[in-house]
Amino acid sequence: MVSILLALIHAVIEIIFLKIESQEVKTTFLHYSIICFNGRFGWVPFLENFTSTKRKVDSSKPLELDYECLQTNYCCAKFNLEYHFGNDSLAQLTKAICNLPMAMDEDSEKKLISIRIGNSAQDVSSERLFDLLTYGHRRVKLDISGIDIKLIMQRDKELMEKLGEVRSGDPEADPNQNNLTLG
């Protein structure tokens, strides 16, 4: 009996947290619950805001999305949610941005969606970041001021050096390479 009561309490707490998190990422409770229960990889908050059929357009105030600071107020308390982009999820965001129309004049530039990436994209490759900047130009207003680009470039450089060592046949880079035989 106690275990059933504790399971019910746990379920209620989980539902409360799902409700809070769904508000933080500006999606419906049902949609967010399905995403969480299915454990979707590559999911990006706010992605449904990029489709014209679901986005509520308010010409007086353009849409502002902040991936660095996802927060909401619920029952007089402030809740924060951390989101970190990976290469696949940043590619999903870039793909969604590609479907937006380009701003061709000053008036349409004022209505662009503002996206603050911040430090949520510290774990992506420079290639994915470059894609986002290229395809986002004149489609969204991107704020990447929180990204340490030097760190990303250094990490990419180290990865490329490691790949070069493995391909060149350096036994220290790949200890199993000495065991290869050609037949």
Domain boundaries, the chain: 1-41, 52-170
Task: Look up residue 101 and give its DSSP letter.
Answer: P
Angle at 111 between CA 85 and CA 48, to 5 degrees: 40
Relative to beta strand 77-81, strand 70-74 is: antiparallel
Give the pLDDT confidence score for residue 133 in this predicted structure.
93
Q: What is the pLDDT of residues 3-57, one digit of tens each?
A: 999 999 998 998 888 888 888 887 888 888 887 776 666 678 888 777 754 455 5
pLDDT at 2: 87
Q: What is residue 66's three-state secondary structure? A: strand
Specify which residues 140 forms β-bridges with: 113
Q: Judging by DSSP bridges, how do beta strands 113-116 and 77-81 pair with one another?
A: unpaired
d(Cα 121, Cα 83) in Å, to the nearest integer? Answer: 9
Residue-level pLDDT at 59 = 54
Residue 124: DSSP 8-state: S
Q: Strand 140-143 to strand 70-74: parallel, antiparallel, or no bridges (unpaired)?
A: unpaired
- pLDDT tens string 71-118: 887 787 888 888 889 899 999 999 999 988 888 888 888 888 999 998
Q: Looking at residue 135, what is its pLDDT?
A: 94
Helix (H, G, I), strand (E, B) or coil at 169: coil
